Structure 1
Amino acid sequence: MPKGILGTNVITQIGILVNDIDATSQAYADFFGIAKPEWFLTDTVDAARTEFRGQATEARAKLAFFDMGALQLELIEPDHNPSTWREYLDEHGEGPHHIAFVIKGMKEKIALLEGNQMQLLQKGEYTGGRYAYMDTFKQLKVLVELLEDDKEQEQLHV
């Protein structure tokens, strides 16, 4: 059975932009009756190699993750450097930013989406993989994040 453009139809994560990660993390922890996760800061530009709209950026963000079964909830508090997080928060306020999918073949998927008028907004590296935010807002009313895990890539070459 076809799995659409990305080769999957399984949403793995919902990302939400916030102004105060501590307060919002506590509110979610209280709501779900679970422990508040510790937030961490994304890598510096030398490690993350972050690009926003084709330009290198020093953008960083505080991230907190809630693992909710098959779906992960990600809270994002961006710094003030240029990024999709900062732009979206400034334009739309707090709330949903993206839905994420684990994919294989990052370059190919980006090219495929760009061929469907869904442009690359931001990309970068993280320990264990890479990400790309695609501008799917016009079509899907939310951004799509592509996640490619190095472990998945290693398994492909076995």
Structure 2
Amino acid sequence: MSKGVLGTNVVAQVGIIVKDIEKTSQAYADFFGVEKPPANPTDPLDKAQTNYKGDPTEARAKLAFFDMGSLQLELIEPDEHPSTWREFLDTHGEGVHHIAFVVKDMKATVAKMESRNMPLVQKGEYTGGRYAYMDTFNELKVILELLENDN
């Protein structure tokens, strides 16, 4: 049986945009009775190779991750530079930004989604892999993030 466009139907992560990562991380930690994770900055442009709407961007964010069994909650506090994170916060305020899936062939998956009128909005590298945010909002009502991890 086919796993659809992504090759998987397993949600890996839910990303939430926040204004104050320290305050929101503490609220989640208290609510779930877990330790508050550190909030770490994303890598700078030279390492992350962040690209937003086709152009390089200095955009960075503070990230905090809660591992919740088979699902990870990612809190994202964007900086002021142009990014999908900043655009979301400025347009919608705080809230769910994306649902993420781990894919095996990032380039092929991005191409397949773009052929379905789901354009690439932002991409970048992280230690151990890469990510791509796809504009699936019109059809799916949420942004999808693709994650490809190195072996």
Q: TM-score range by the shorter chain?
A: over 0.9
Question: Runs of 4+ in structure 1 displaced over 4 angstroms?
Answer: none
| Structure 2 residue ranges without an equivalent (≥5) | none
Aligned position for 2:135: 135
Tell me, what secondary structure is at the counterpart of 2:100?
strand
Question: What is the CA distance between 1:71 and its match in structure 2?
Answer: 0.1
Aligned position for 2:145: 145
| Structure 1 residue ranges without an equivalent (≥5) | 152-158
**One-letter code of the match for 1:32?**
F
Q: Equivalents in 2 of 1:33, 1:46: separation in Å?
A: 37
Question: What is the CA distance between 1:72 and its match in structure 2?
Answer: 0.1
Question: What is the CA distance between 1:108 and its match in structure 2?
Answer: 0.5
Question: What is the CA distance between 1:2 and its match in structure 2?
Answer: 1.4
Q: Deviations over 1:113-136 (max 9, x none)?
A: 000010000000000000000000
Paired residues for 1:1-150 under 5 Å? 1-150=1-150
Q: Equivalents in 2 of 1:61, 1:136: separation in Å?
A: 22
Question: What is the CA distance between 1:91 and its match in structure 2?
Answer: 0.5
Tell me, what secondary structure is at the counterpart of 1:22?
helix
TM-score by length of 2: 0.99
Q: Equivalents in 2 of 1:106, 1:140: separation in Å?
A: 20
**One-letter code of the match for 1:103?**
V
Query: For this pair of structures, how many residues does the alignment match?
Result: 151
**One-letter code of the match for 1:2?**
S
Q: Aligned Cα RMSD in Å?
A: 0.4
TM-score by length of 1: 0.95
Q: Equivalents in 1 of 2:109, 2:38: separation in Å?
A: 32
Q: Percent identity?
A: 68
Q: Equivalents in 1 of 2:80, 2:108: separation in Å?
A: 31
